[in-house]
Amino acid sequence: MSLRAALTLIIFFAAFFSPRPLLAGESNDGQKTDAPEYARALANYDTPDVAVIRQDGKKLSFGKELDDGRPVILNFVFVSCSAICPMLSHLFSKVQTKLAKDGQKAHMVSISIDPENDTPAKLAEYAKKFGAGSDWNFYTGTREVSIAIQKAFNAYRGDKMNHTSIILMRAKPGKPWLRVEGFLSPDAVAREYHTMLQQP
Amino acid sequence: MDPQSTSFPDTQRQSSWLLSSRRLLCFWLVTLALVARAEPPVASSEDVELGRRIYMEGILPSGEPLKGKRQEAVQVEGAEAACETCHRRSGMGSLEGNIVITPITGRFLFATDENRPLALVDPRAPKNLTRAHTPYTEESLAKVIREGIDVSDRTLSPLMPQYALSDVEIKAVLAYLRQLSSEVSPGVGDETLHFATIVAPDVDPKQREAMVDMMRTAFAQRNASQKVYSGRMRMPIDLIPRTLRNWKLTVWELQGAQETWGTQLAENYQREPVFAVISGLSNTTWAPVHSFCQQEKLPCLFPSVTLPPAETAFYPLYYSRGVALEADVLAKHLRDQGKNTPRRLLQVYRDNKVGRGASLALTEAMKGSEIQVENRVLYGDEPIELKAALKGLSSKDAVMLWLRPADLSAVNKAAPKQLPAVTYVSGFLAADNYDFVPKTWKSHVRVVYPYELGAKRQKNVAAMKEWLKTWQLPLVDEAFQTEVFFNLLFLTDLTSQILDNLYRDYLVERAEDMLSLDSNVSAYPHLSLARGQRFASKGAYIARFAPDGNLVADSEWIVP
């Protein structure tokens, strides 16, 4: 094949071509039909030693932020995400209230997966919108840092639109992480959290 | 309706004029609806407007905020509950994570086997199409909105809130959905998909030619490949309706004063409505084009301009904020200098749109810092003018040159043999012309550089260079040409994604969602958008000259 033809093909067909025969309405992969439920698993993740920037503009060590002694509840969000993220953030907001009522001091951590857009100022505004108190922080950083953190928690899916609702919790440094994936109610998160703390 | 009062508003009759003009609008909507679609019962335009408020703004007819609840998770309210946040302006839906947000326009909800439209639901899985379902009725639609149980009795993903809408409100939403994206946008002919590109006056003819030639070549190439392709119609995938229309490119050349551009654009558009404007070129302002795009609801994708309007809008998308971005990057860099912070920042610029815009942006960005900003406007073309602009420099100063190559080439004649102050150059304006920098200065010159550097840059731009060679097109300005090249590839991707759903809103939404997916063939390190974002590249490096003369990064990628 000539170079010209090859280029034509690569450039203009790459997005099109699928060898699999397909008829209208046949495919249904990827469409979620399940009733509300979530998956949980325990896992060990190495916290990457990277510099993050908190919503107040402070440059901090991510490792130290996670290892300050408090239990951690962590998720991934971005400000421009209109469908899933508001739901996740409302959920965190409700969880925050619940834990406060129970006298719990957990560190709630929301990592931006669109760090170049989500400047500290934008995150601060977002935090305010969801009523984040002093125990709930938002972090941004360079693109590489955000990707490193997502990868460390096996939450990197290549691009931000491909992002799913994951919550990670850890009772203290050295303990495994509890990973819950799917749609949870604030009650369910609080329940998982309390169960986790009671583990020896 | 009283036509007199609509054409001659005056202060006394303001309120009646407002009222009747609303009625006039209603009249047009009804007429349009009648022309467009004879079959389903035509909803009143009031219903459509009430539906629009629910759909777009999350406001109920009562003025109360729309409220949605979710079984397991949390409630939403007002703008956040608006259908648009998920199903988007076009009603064509989107994808978040692994959750498909289905298209809910009338065409999709009420489709039967005879007229079923198709859409791709996942840009990452080109085979994943919307599913067929029995047509919704008003009743089943009410049920899915209120209870989250669809026409096939399936419980929807908990992401979709449940809305306790009244019958009247359901009717309004229904009326809105019926007319939403019901007709293809202007610029879509039976055989032809019309595009334009826009060239402002006073651009470098070489740049203009490079852009237009690249675009014409790519369009011809694309049309030729479509012919091959449609003759092949053997695979089942070929049966998916997608736009096999020929792409046609028109070049809109603007002339004269910018106040007249709007009229010129309107005339061009009248002559040949286009589906979208692709690329474009201006060395001065872009504001009239920007306004025109928004006003005509015309996607204007990624022009090569140095100073896009700061106010964003839905339809115009840009590579970056241009020199305003550089100003913010430089300000951040200077503020972070610690003990090396200069005492004074001297900025030299031409008294034109871009020069003023850039200097204003920098002045604004430096506000509140200890560095004193001093403006020096460059007049005339004699080296002596530049000398005057640069006089009185000391090592406590920093200089920013908002100058293009024509002016930069005079710099070494105008400035001292040894440069006393660190001197920054705008990467956008210098356009990779650094011959003006004498050897003795190299250590003092920095470039605010909005593109990728080094091996990564070479890798990104290799595809374009290869393509230019293949089609025997000249390489005039690498960074600029990759903007055009990227845009053409991206357009190909976009159109192959939207299939035959040729709605402009949908095109913009796809662009928002897909940009980060694309492998990067531009000179920028990475490009990414999301809902509401309008500038794809968000930072710049501070670069210096390595001993071998090449530009290398002297800072991290700075995102202000």
* Residue A15 with chain B: CB contacts under 8 Å: 126, 492-493, 496-497
**In whole angstroms, what separates CA B549 from the centre of its chain?**
35
Q: Would you place residue B74 in the very low, low, confident or very high pLDDT band (cuts 50, 70, 90)?
A: confident
Q: Annotate B336-374 with b (16+ C-beta within 10 A) or e (fewer).
A: eeeeeebebbbbbbbeebbbbbbbebbbebbeeeebebe
Task: Assess whether pLDDT exceeds 70 at residue B492.
Answer: yes
The pLDDT value recorded for residue A162 is 73
Asked if the structure places residue A114 within a domain, the reply is yes
B371 touches chain A (CB under 8 A): no
* Among chain B residues, CA nearest to A165: B97
The pLDDT value recorded for residue B237 is 46
* Residue B489 with chain A: CB contacts under 8 Å: 11
Q: Would you place residue B75 in the very low, low, confident or very high pLDDT band (cuts 50, 70, 90)?
A: confident
**B549 or B286: which carries more pLDDT confidence?**
B286
The pLDDT value recorded for residue B266 is 98
ipTM value for the complex: 0.84
The pLDDT value recorded for residue B179 is 96
Please give the Cα distance from A76 to A114 (Å, whole number). Answer: 10
The pLDDT value recorded for residue B230 is 52
Asked if the structure places residue A22 within a domain, the reply is no
The pLDDT value recorded for residue B164 is 96
**B94 or B253: which carries more pLDDT confidence?**
B253
The pLDDT value recorded for residue B125 is 67
Asked if the structure places residue A76 within a domain, the reply is yes
Mutate which: A159, A165, A167, A187, vs B, most B CBs within 10 A = A159
Residue A60: which CATH number? 3.40.30.10
Task: Assess whether pLDDT exceeds 70 at residue B231.
Answer: no
> Would the CB atoms of B240 and A24 count as touching at under 8 Å?
yes
**B76 or B362: which carries more pLDDT confidence?**
B362
Chain mean pLDDT for chain B:
87
**Is B220:B236 a contact under the CB 8 Å cutoff?**
no
**B23 or B267: which carries more pLDDT confidence?**
B267
Give contacts of A 19-38 with B, CB under 8 A: 20-33, 35-36
Q: Which parts of B231-304 fold into alpha helices (H)? A: 261-271, 287-295
Give contacts of B 452-481 with A, CB under 8 A: 466-467, 470
Mean of the pLDDT values across residues B507-514?
Answer: 92
* Among chain A residues, CA nearest to B131: A25
* Residue B517 with chain A: CB contacts under 8 Å: 158-159, 161
A89 touches chain B (CB under 8 A): no
Q: Would you place residue B242 in the very low, low, confident or very high pLDDT band (cuts 50, 70, 90)?
A: low
- Which among A35, A117, A184 has the least Cβ separation from residue B530? A117
The secondary structure of chain A in percent helix, strand, coil, rounded to multiples of 5, reads: 35, 20, 45
Number of domains in chain A: 1
Q: Burial of B432 by CB count in 10 Å (0-12 exposed, 13-18 middle, 19+ buried)?
A: middle
Give contacts of B 285-314 with A, CB under 8 A: none
The pLDDT value recorded for residue B25 is 35
In total, the C-beta contacts within 8 angstroms joining chain A to chain B are 179
Please give the residue range of the domain that contains residue A80: 40-158+166-198
Asked if the structure places residue A139 within a domain, the reply is yes
pTM of the model: 0.88
**Is B431:B481 a contact under the CB 8 Å cutoff?**
no
Q: Would you place residue B313 in the very low, low, confident or very high pLDDT band (cuts 50, 70, 90)?
A: very high
Task: Assess whether pLDDT exceeds 70 at residue B359.
Answer: yes
Please give the Cα distance from B468 to B225 (Å, whole number). Answer: 18
- Which among B72, B126, B224 has the least Cβ separation from residue A183? B72
Give contacts of A 104-163 with B, CB under 8 A: 114-117, 119, 142-143, 157-163
Task: Assess whether pLDDT exceeds 90 at residue B438.
Answer: no
**B43 or A46: which carries more pLDDT confidence?**
A46
> Would the CB atoms of B72 and A119 count as touching at under 8 Å?
no
For residue B389, give how far its alpha carbon lies from the nearest alpha carbon of chain A (Å): 36
B79 touches chain A (CB under 8 A): no
Which parts of chain A sit beneath pLDDT 70? 1-36
- Domains in chain B (CATH in brackets) are 3-13+187-318+456-529 (3.40.50.2300), 38-179 (no CATH), 324-449+542-553 (3.40.50.2300)
**A11-15, A122-126, B98-102, B300-304, range with the lowest pLDDT:** A11-15
Nearest CA to B300 out of B260, B269, B346 is that of B269
Asked if the structure places residue A113 within a domain, the reply is yes
**B330 or B117: which carries more pLDDT confidence?**
B330
* Residue A20 with chain B: CB contacts under 8 Å: 127, 237
pLDDT in tens, B165-224: 999 999 999 999 999 999 999 999 999 999 999 999 989 999 999 999 999 999 999 998
Q: Would you place residue B350 in the very low, low, confident or very high pLDDT band (cuts 50, 70, 90)?
A: very high
The pLDDT value recorded for residue B507 is 97
**A15-29, B37-51, B258-272, B311-325, range with the lowest pLDDT:** A15-29
What is the number of residues in chain B? 560
